[in-house]
Amino acid sequence: MDDTLLSYYNRELSYVRKLGAEFSEQHPKIAGRLRLDSETVEDPHVSRLIESFAFLTARIRQTIDDSFPELTEALMGVLYPEFHAPYPAMSIAQIRVIRKTPSPQTIECGRKLHVKGEGYGDCVFSTCNELEALPVTIENTRVVNAPAKAPNLVLPGKERLLVKSVLSFDVKPFESAKVAEFKNDSLSLYIDGQSQLTFKLFEYLMQGTLGITIAKSAMDPNPICLPANRLVASGLLRNGEVYGDSFDGRTCVTYKKIMDFFAFPKRFLFIDLVGMREIWPLFESGFSVYFYFDETDPELVQGVDETTLQLGCVPIVNLYEGRIEYIGAKEVNLESKLEVHRSLADYADVHHVSRVYAKNNEGETKELLPFYGSHRQAHSTDSPVYWGLRRENTRFDNGRVSAGTDTYISFVDTKFEVVNLQSDWLIGADVICNNRDVAAKLPFGSELPHTDFIEGGAGMRVKLTIPATSTISPKLKSATRWQLIAQLTLQSFAGKDGLGVLKESLRLYDLVGTRESQSMIDGIINMHTSPSTARIVQQGRSAICQGTKIELEFDEQFYSGSSVVLFGHILDEFFAQFCAINSFTQLSIKIKQKPGRLIECPPRIGFQQLI
C-alpha cells in the first residue's frame, strides 16, 4: 500500500472532526449527543465510524488525484515503455566447458538460467548475447613496464612506436581441444575485478593500445602483428540489448545503454580480439597475446593478475517468458490483477505484456489489442474490446514481504468505457516476467548462488562472477508528467543552456539516483557545439554533408570507479539519435586533467558511422 494514503487519511480525519464539531455547535438539538470537537471524540463508537469514513474518503480522494496522470502514463507507456517497466536485476555469468570438450560450444542469446539460494527464493535469468564457450584457459595475465619481454611490434607506416607498458597473457588449449578446427572469429574477454582497476584497463585497451602481437612466446622471431583496431569494445556493439527484443522495438537502444551505464556499467567491460579464424590453426598448442600501451600506470602493474581477464562470460538479465493465470470473464471487474503463473519461480512480476487473448468454450482464440497502440488490423465485430494497463508499486506479494510492481488490466471499448466480456471467455496473456526483489537478496560467495541451465547445458558449468544488482521499481503516477514533458522538450543541445539540457536529459535515465551516478553527470563541465562538414563517398561518388561538431569536457575526478571513455562513447551514440536526415554529429572528448589529449569519435548518423 502506498504511504501517501496515510497523508490523505489524516487530512480527511481532521476535516471530518472539525466539520462535525462545527455542525454539533450550530445544531445542538440534532447533533449534540455526538459529543464532537475538533480534537477528540468522546463516544468511541462515533470515533470508529468517523475513522472508517475518513479512510474511505481518503481512498476516494487518492484515486481521483491519481487519475490525473493517467493520460501521461499511457503516453509514456507507448512512447517510452522502458520508463514504466521495472528495471530488472542483472549480473555476469561465466560458462565454462569441461576439459574433455574438443570444440567451442555455442550458448544462444536468451538461454534461461536457474539461479537459487536456499531459503531466499529462485530466480530465472536469461543470457543477453550469444556466447562461444572455448575449451581453452587464460594464464599468466600481467602488465609490465617497458622494456618488457615481448615480441617486436612492427606495423606498416608506424616505424617508431613509443611503448611504455605491455599487457600479456597465455592462451592454453585443453588436451582434448582441436584448435585447428575452431571456426569462431573472435576471442571474447571480460575484464573482472575492482571497478577502479577494470575501468582503467578498459580505457587503456580502447584508447591507449598501439598494437597487438600473437606469438608462441616472448622470444618468437615471427610474431603476428595486428593493428589496434582488431580490438573491439563488444559490450558497446552488441546492440545494448540487455532486455532482448523487449517492447516490440519501441525503445531506443541508446537510451537503454545510458540506463545500463548508471545502473550496471560492468556489463560494458567486454572486449573482443577479432580476426581469429585464420589464427587458430597456426597455434594448435597455444599462444601468447601482447597489447602494447602508450602509457603506464602503477595500479595496472600491481593490480592486474590471472583473475582480471576472464573467458566464457556473458551478461544476464532477470527476465524470462511466462504467462498469466487465466482470468474468467465473471472475475473481471473494473480491473483485474495479472498473476504470473509460477511454474519457474515463486516470486514473479509482469515486466511487460507481449500479447493478450481470449479463449471461448469451443477453443477459439481471439487476440485483443491495446487501447493505446497502433492497430493494424480491423475488428470483425461492431463492439471491439481493447485492453489497458495500470501499474502500482507495492511492498508485498500475496501477503509476503517482497518489493515489486503489480500490474492491473482493464477492458474497454473505443470510448474508453468498461465493457462486459462474453461470459464464456477466459482471458490469457503472454508476458515477460522478472522476480521482484529476490535477485538482490541471493547470497554470493562460496559457490553461491547455485546456477545452472534450465534446459540442456550438459558438459558446462555456470557461476556468477559478481552479485546480482537490485531491481529498480519505476517512477509512476505524478512523476510521469515531468518525464513526458522532459522527453518532448529536452531535445536541443545548442545554445548557452546546452550543457544544462544535456544534464537534465541524462538525469531522466539515471534510475538509481545515487551520489555516484549524479557525480558522473556533474563531471561534464563544458559543452560546445559548432557547424561542421564532412565528405561522404559511396559507390565512387562523393558529396559534402553538413553536420554538428560537439565538444565535451570532463573532469576525471568525478569518475573514480568508472570511465570517461566509456561514458563518452555512449554519449556519442546518444547525440546521433537527434541527428536530422542528411546530417551527422561528431563528438570530441576532452579531459581536464589531460589538456593535450583529445579523443575524436568518428562522424555518425544514427547508429551508423559516416562513411
pLDDT digits (tens, 9 = 90+) for 62-71: 776 666 567 7
Do 152 and 217 reside in the same domain of the chain?
Answer: yes
Question: Do 139 and 276 have their domain in common?
Answer: yes
* pLDDT tens, position by position, 239-262: 545 454 556 666 778 888 999 999
How many Å separate Cα 118 from the centre of its chain?
A: 27
Within this chain, do residues 557 and 504 fall inside the same structural domain, yes or no?
A: yes
User: 287 and 330: one domain?
Assistant: no
Which among 431, 205, 415, 228 is positioned nearest to 326, based on CA atoms? 431
Note whether residue 242 is domain-resident: yes
Q: Are residues 142 and 286 in the same domain?
A: yes
Q: Which three cell numbers stand for residue 487?
A: 522527453
Select the more confidently predicted residue: 584 or 580.
584
Instruction: Return the half-sphere exposure (C-beta side, CA atoms, 13 A cut-off) of residue 351.
Output: 24
206 found inside a domain: yes
pLDDT at 60 over 90: no
| 533 is a domain residue | yes
**Cell numbers that stand for 88 in this block:** 530488472
Query: Average pLDDT of 67-78?
Result: 73
Helices (H), 312-471: 438-441
Position 481 in a domain? no
* Pairwise CA distance, residues 374 & 390, whole Å: 19
In a domain, 127, yes or no: no
Distance between CA atoms of 213 and 163, rounded to whole angstroms? Answer: 13
Examine the domain organization and report whether 305 and 332 are in the same domain.
no
Residue 555 sits in the same domain as residue 512: yes
pTM of model > 0.75: yes
**Domain residue limits at 519:** 490-609
For residue 449, is the peptide bond before it cis, meaning its omega torsion is within 30 degrees of 0? yes
- In tens, the pLDDT along 475-529 reads 887 777 778 887 777 777 877 888 999 999 999 899 998 999 999 999 999 999 9
Domain boundary among 251, 283, 311: 311
SS3 448: strand
For residue 83, the one-letter residue type is F
Residues 168 and 289 in one domain: yes
Whether 129 is covered by a domain: the verdict is no
Is residue 354 located within the same domain as residue 283? no
What is 208-250 written as a DSSP string? SEEEEEEESSTT-SSPEEEEGGGEE-HHHHSTT-TTSSGGGG-
Place of cell 583496431: 229
The confidence score (pLDDT) of residue 545 equals 87
pLDDT at 240: 45
Last-in-domain residue among 434, 462, 482? 434
Mean pLDDT of the chain: 86
Q: Looking at the domain assignment, is residue 452 inside a domain?
A: no
Cβ neighbours around 35 below 10 Å, total: 13
Q: Do 177 and 216 fall within a single domain?
A: yes
Torsion angle, alpha carbons of 392, 431, 242, 373, to 10: -80
Asked which of 3-12, 240-249, 270-279 is least confident by mean pLDDT, the reply is: 240-249
Q: Are residues 167 and 300 in the same domain?
A: yes
List, as own/partner pairs, every contact residues 499-506 make where C-beta atoms lie below 8 angstroms and the sequence separation is at least 24, other chains included.
Answer: 499/524, 499/526, 499/527, 502/527, 506/258
Specify the pLDDT at position 248: 63
Same domain, 330 and 304: no
Q: Looking at the domain assignment, is residue 575 inside a domain?
A: yes
Total structural domains within the chain: 4
| pLDDT, tens digit (0-9, with 9 covering 90-100), for 106-165 | 999 999 999 988 777 789 999 999 999 999 999 999 999 988 899 999 888 787 789 999
Single residue among 280, 311, 342 that ends a domain in this structure: 311
